[in-house]
């Protein structure tokens, strides 16, 4: 199997979530891991990625190409997320549609 480079995202876990860091691979549903430090989470993520790919291949699942969907993940403060979610609901749109339209307007598209 060719070496595939999958994008990943990390975030700090709250104390309620057990602390540490979480790593997720958006192109591979359910592929995630964690660690006490960012470095540990990334190392554990490499293992999780390898296991996910091996299990998918063994099950005969189609393995998506890295970055096959145009995804941009941006964390925002909770109050901003709430305001945007309320506005999207009021306008009858999804949060993604609203944010995409705001970005289009901001970039002159």
Q: Write out the two tokens for 31.
A: 């592929």
Would strands 9-12 and 32-35 be described as parallel, antiparallel, or unpaired? unpaired
- Residue pLDDT, tens place only, 33-51: 999 998 899 999 999 999 9
In the prediction, which pLDDT does 106 show? 85
In the prediction, which pLDDT does 5 show? 83
- Residue pLDDT, tens place only, 55-106: 999 999 998 888 755 566 677 788 888 898 899 899 998 887 888 888 878 8
Contact 32, 24 (CB under 8 A): yes
| Nearby residues of 19 by Cβ (< 8 Å), 6 or more positions away | 13, 36
Q: Write out the two tokens for 28.
A: 């591979």
pLDDT of 52 over the 90 cut: yes
Query: Please, which pLDDT band fits residue 2 given cuts at 50, 70 and 90?
Result: low
Q: How far apart are CA 67 and CA 64, in angstroms?
A: 8
């Amino acid at each position: 199997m060719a070496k595939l480079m999958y994008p990943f995202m990390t975030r700090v876990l709250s104390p309620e979530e057990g602390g540490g860091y979480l790593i997720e691979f958006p192109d591979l549903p359910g592929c995630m891991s964690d660690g006490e430090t960012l470095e540990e989470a990334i190392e554990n993520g490499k293992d999780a990625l390898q296991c996910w790919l091996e299990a998918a291949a063994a099950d005969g699942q189609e393995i998506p190409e890295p970055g096959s969907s145009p995804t941009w993940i941006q964390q925002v403060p909770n109050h901003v997320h709430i305001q945007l979610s309320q506005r999207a609901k009021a306008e009858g749109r999804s949060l993604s549609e609203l944010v995409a339209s705001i970005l289009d307007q901001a970039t002159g598209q």
